[in-house]
Chains A and B, each alone.
Chain A
Amino acid sequence: MTDIAPDQDLTAVDIDGALDYLKQRFPDAVREDDREGYSGIIVDKDKLVDVATTIRDELGFNYLSSATAVDYLGISDHMEMVYHTYRISGGGALVFKAQTDREKAELPSLVPVWKGADFQEREAYDLFGIRFEGHPNLRRILLWEGFDGHPMRKDWKEAYYEQDHKPFDSRWPAGWVHRAEERTPYGKNVRYPDNLDLSRLVDVSEEDVYQSLGLGVDVQQLDSDDIATERLLVNMGPHHPSTHGVFRMVVTMNGETIEKLEPVMGYLHRNHEKIGERNTFLHNMPFTDRLDYISSMGNNFGYALAVEQLLSRGARYDAPTYRAEVIRVLMAELTRIVNHLWAIGFWLNDLGAFFTPVLYFIEERERILDFFEAVAGSRMMCNYMRFGGVAKDLPERLHSVANLVNDKVRDYNTMQYLTELITERIPRTIEELEEYLSENEIIKARSIGYGYLSPEDAIQYSTAGPLLRGSGIPYDVRRAEPYSIYPELDFDIAVRDEGDMYARYLVRVEEMWQSVRILKQILPRLERTQGEPIMAGKPQHTPRVPLGEAYGRVENPKGELGFYVVSAGDPKGPQNPWRYHVRAPSFINLTPLGLMCQNHKVADIVAILGSIDIVLGETDR
């Protein structure tokens, strides 16, 4: 253990140094996490807030990336919260954990230290039943109030439960399958507790939402000297054309002015993580496509990185080949362009330019999707990356099946198509977009100064992606903790200082330019590596994954997408993840939504939401 000199700048020590410092500083409360394959420290729960404050203030790990729970039933019979913190200047993660009893799961809340823990702790409460003392608004977030149990606990079984792990014996090798509906008397995916009280079947989910706003009445006359305004409670969503899916906001307004906004989500909560634990590691790959379904390739990338991190600790592991990395970056950057075109287009919808600009962007998107389809086989759900490489090499010629008679993309040389796309079509579109939109008076009038988020808040609330960079923080995982071949590529981090909607728009435009810049460097690399293998070693369907934990993160178009994967249980190396958690940028970026909307008008909140750019598949998972 190295001693830390008293005058040393603690915000610059490396992670081992930081961990040592913590162990010295809190000798009774901090111990090393020495389980096989784990890293970081385990903190005594009584001292959790103190240690976290030290980590944030003294050691400079001021950015809480992810906070999630794990249930170790059957292994060590406790629950655990895992926190990943980073320095906003870049570098690796400082991981710390806090353990609690399963029966009486309670931990101190870290919201006073990082506001970004707010939603994540609520999620842990909802799905694991851990109570966070001191949390300002500890309510269910993805499920509804009144739901029976906490479904991510290992002993909680869903109605269609068959077995803990796939492949289910009934399907393979036996090969007989019941329709899941036959398994319950209701013919539906429902399961009621045994002590169901039929006399008190009331829906309390709505009441709960309104209570959080501190409002018992719907309409209230306000005493005020000037014009009398009414205080109103307004529901927007879950069915609303501008909430980008099934998102709901409940707002209290004084006249037209927003006083308080409460995001309500979970309307697309489709149990990614529970299903992910039943799946084998590879099974999860197509599921990641459906997280942020606009940028499926980026999601694949993140998950592949996380599992590769685990695999790399095993004896037999081959890192992805160079060509695989080149193709991955190609796909990730094309995805970024698709996503930003889509995001800007729909943000304009929210500003009132209803569907006209977006049609132009969708047309360009189609060109890129054609390429995805020809390579991966599907337009949107690409399921393209594998552990150690990618599924298929680029074909020599592109034949898109999705073609209509009037389309030109029938039979094209791949490289020619890509070159044309990258050097001509995409730049032309972005230029056009800038020309018509960037100086547009209405856009500027509506977006400059609206939805302000200060840099301090941006870090405090754990925001990521264009939201963070629009607030003047040049944080981009591609540079902060580089992965794949990004270190050898030339590009700048797009950043703006203003912190308003317009700044986020400009960041997105600039990021598209940077992506084009990267893609132009990728093209010669693609040429050069033609014919080289795209997969290290033999493709494996059910790799045995070494024990341990891993957190793989990528800079997805919407922000930092992280996958926290735990491999535990089977000492031989399990085939199924013990825990599969997604740190979803769309979810965490919503934490400051209420703050950003305060004192704006109703018409602005849809635009502010649009400027965050969320996708509900990822928000609710």
Chain B
Amino acid sequence: MDLQQFQDTEFPVPTELQSNVAITSLSKLYNWGRRNSMWPMLFGLACCAIEMIATASSRFDLSRFGMEVMRATPRQADLMIVSGTVTKKMIVPIVRLYNQMPEPKYVLAMGACASGGGPFKEGYNVVSGIDKYIPVDVYVPGCPPTPQALLYGLIALQKKIDGQSLANMDDVPWYGVGPSEPTPVPILGPDIIDPRQMHIIRQQAERAAQGLPAGVRELPAIPQPEKKKVPAKTGQGAAAADGEMDPAKAERLRKREAALARKRAREAAKKQQGEG
């Protein structure tokens, strides 16, 4: 153990004692202990879990960070590595598991799916990102992230822990008085229901009862990127002189635009009909 890393410069220790005595802050020592003995939960969801296992095995070796002790029970785990696609059916047990983990606890979203839905985002049974339900400390992008990326994420988490202080209760919720509130467990109704959103759901249900469109949001108009002026059909010379695209291409583009506009109009009309 290298005592140097603890030395607090405010209280210098005589050189001859430096290898035996260290003066440091409690937070520093405490965090040092925590960051080097993170116990992840043995918990795989999808493809990313395979890379997590690869990370834990000999070539990449999680134990270099004191993280090789994977516990299957949430009650012994400090870190939940959400490794894979979170589905609506699975979010219920996940939130329950999260609630069962003792504090201090951390969540690492591994992969595109856990971070934001990933390739399956639009799927009807997919939760687009675990952070919609539980707080996340570190996101590791990738599909799947390579073991190196996961290691990097874990190091980032260690850095985060280093920065936390026992004295500052705003920083971390768990050093306050009493236990923190559990995250409400979602309900599997006609679709997944987050109890925290009941008021919005009620609002929308009222709208639906009045026959107004519910469950969809009008999107703000999108400022279209300014189009390059398409040269009118005045002949080749003008376009060429501007140094713009050649007329055949411009013509194709224009037709495409027109077709698209028609399509959008058609769809809008259909929608209106549907509503009316």
Contacts and interface: CB of A to CB of B under 8 A. Distances in A.
A373 to B, nearest CB: 9
A190 B193 CA distance: 8
Given A180-B121, A290-B119, A363-B58, A203 B219 contact: no
A359 to B, nearest CB: 5
B32 interface: no
A402 B51 CA distance: 12
Contacts, number: 212
A358 B59 CA distance: 13
Interface of B: 42-47, 49-51, 53-54, 57-60, 72, 84-85, 87, 89-90, 93-94, 97, 117, 119-128, 132, 143-144, 146-148, 187-194, 197, 200-205, 208, 214-217, 219, 222, 224-225, 256, 260, 263-264
Interface string A208-232: 0000000000000000000000000
A156 B124 CA distance: 10
Contacts of A270: 46, 85, 87, 120, 123, 125-126
Given A173-B256, A188-B128, A245-B44, A404 B205 contact: no
Interface stretch (A51-59, A142-150, A311-319): A142-150
Contacts of A616: 46
B256 to A, nearest CB: 7
B217 A147 contact: no
Contacts of B123: 158, 189, 270-272, 274-275
Given A203-B187, A266-B89, A198 B47 contact: no
Interface of A: 142-144, 146-148, 151, 156, 158-162, 169, 173-176, 178, 180-196, 198, 201-203, 205, 238-241, 245-246, 266-272, 274-275, 278, 286-287, 290, 293-294, 358-359, 362-363, 365-366, 379-381, 402, 404, 407, 616-617
Nearest to B203: A185
Nearest to A240: B72
Max count, chain B CB within 10 A of own CB: residue among A158, A185, A186, A189: A189
A271 B50 contact: no
A205 B188 contact: yes
B217 A183 contact: yes
Nearest to A190: B191
A215 to B, nearest CB: 21
Contact of A246 (B45, B197, B263): B45
Contacts of A241: 42, 72
Contacts of B87: 266-270
B58 A359 contact: yes
Nearest to A362: B57
Contacts of B132: 187-188
Given A146-B188, A246-B45, A379-B146, 9 more contacts: A147-B188, A160-B121, A189-B126, A192-B201, A198-B202, A239-B97, A272-B120, A278-B122, A286-B119
A381 B125 contact: no
B53 to A, nearest CB: 7
Interface of chain A: mostly helix, strand, loop or mixed: loop
A324 B145 CA distance: 29
26 contacts: A146-B188, A148-B191, A158-B123, A160-B122, A169-B264, A174-B260, A175-B225, A183-B217, A185-B203, A185-B204, A186-B194, A188-B127, A188-B128, A188-B194, A188-B197, A189-B122, A189-B128, A190-B193, A192-B191, A194-B214, A267-B87, A269-B125, A275-B120, A293-B46, A362-B57, A381-B143
A196 B187 CA distance: 14
Nearest to B72: A241
Contacts of A359: 57-58
Given A201-B187, A366-B59, A245 B89 contact: no
A618 B7 CA distance: 53
Contacts of A196: 189-190, 201, 205, 208
Given A275-B122, A363-B59, A144 B89 contact: yes
Given A183-B216, A188-B132, A362-B58, A201 B189 contact: yes
B201 A246 contact: no
Contacts of A201: 187, 189, 193
B43 A192 contact: no
Contacts of A185: 200, 203-204, 215-217
A294 B50 contact: yes
A268 B208 contact: no
Contacts of B191: 147-148, 159, 190-192
Nearest to A194: B208
A292 to B, nearest CB: 10
Given A201-B193, A380-B144, A238 B93 contact: yes
A267 B91 CA distance: 9
B56 to A, nearest CB: 9
B160 to A, nearest CB: 24
A267 B194 CA distance: 18
B119 A268 contact: no
A495 B94 CA distance: 41
A196 B206 CA distance: 10
Contacts of B119: 275, 286-287, 290
A158 B60 contact: no
Max count, chain A CB within 10 A of own CB: residue among B120, B144, B219: B120
A367 B264 CA distance: 52
B141 to A, nearest CB: 14
